[in-house]
Amino acid sequence: MEKKLQYSINCNGKLLDLSVPRVMGIINVTPDSFYAGSRRQTDADIVEQAKQMLLDGASIIDVGGCSTRPGASCPDEEEEKRRLAHAFDAIRKALPDAILSVDTFRSSVARMCVEDYRVDMVNDISGGSMDVGMFDTVARLGVPYILMHSKGTPADMQTAPHYDDLMLEVLLYFADRVQKLRDRGQKDIIIDPGFGFGKTLDHNYQLLGQMQQLQALELPILVGCSRKSMIYRLLDTTPEEALNGTTVVNTIALTKGASILRVHDVRAAKECVEIYCQMQSPSP
């Protein structure tokens, strides 16, 4: 197993220790996310899901108002803001101390969520490429930023993605963007290899197999493979049947240095982390 570096991040004054891997639960306040089981629309459903995720062991709740599945079309800015304001208002009233993340590529949306609803971190699937103001915004807001690798946009990212050297290109992508963030004074940065974003099935498994190379960047790594096509297409199943495969991939990701698992099924991921951590404990 790969030795994982130890990190902590500052979430609005709450220090989140990543020396033990953490689980991030996914709530989608969208009508079209690829996994129907993650969609929530009413206040009661949203709050119930968030509470259950925390009970099941989630350290972070990640809320998205814009589907980023391959081929997806995104709502306009005002609709995304409306969805997220609705969700975060309900969650914050019920769970004032929960660590919350917003899944958005728009800097104006990120700013609203942090300033109006005390959201603790920003999760950007575009790595700053879909909104040139994102890096300046997150640095000014002073919250942790999840920097994901992707090629293209959700509408076209799976149209024949190509790499001459996958790992080298991913490493250079992160090195360039991390430096730009550091130049702006950004403190806490988490990197996400972007499984399923501008990558073929073979690319995804090559990336997973060599993911330990990303530890050279000395930053926490978030892995989001939950119920994705890299699992259910390989196994010839569906997203609804992909929990077992997800657990296998999450286990491999932990051995490669993942600090955060972003998942739909929190309890299963938490059990995966507990078993992994037991295996890391020194023998008596």
Domain boundaries in the chain?
A: 17-278
Looking at residue 273, its pLDDT comes to 98
What is the longest distance spanned by two Cα atoms in the chain? 57
- Residue 227 bears catalytic tag: no
Alpha carbon distance 28, 35 (integer Å): 9
> One of 228, 256, 267, 270 is an active-site residue; which one?
228
Looking at residue 161, its pLDDT comes to 81
Looking at residue 38, its pLDDT comes to 47
Looking at residue 75, its pLDDT comes to 84
Characterize the bridge pairing of strands 145-148 and 100-103.
unpaired
Q: Which residues of the chain have pLDDT under 50?
A: 1, 34-35, 38
Looking at residue 40, its pLDDT comes to 54
- Residue 187 bears catalytic tag: no
Write out pLDDT tens, residues 54-109. 999 999 999 999 876 666 667 889 999 999 999 999 999 999 999 999 999 999 99
Count of other CB atoms within 10 angstroms of residue 122: 25
Global model pTM greater than 0.85: yes
> One of 227, 256, 262, 270 is an active-site residue; which one?
262
Structure tokens at 31: 């009508």
Looking at residue 95, its pLDDT comes to 97
Structure tokens at 56: 């099941």
CA neighbor of 127 nearest in space, from 73, 166, 172, 167: 172
Per the DSSP assignment, residues forming a β-bridge with 64 are 28, 103
The CATH fold of domain 17-278: TIM Barrel (3.20.20)
Alpha carbon distance 198, 173 (integer Å): 13
CA neighbor of 148 nearest in space, from 157, 111, 140: 157
Looking at residue 3, its pLDDT comes to 54
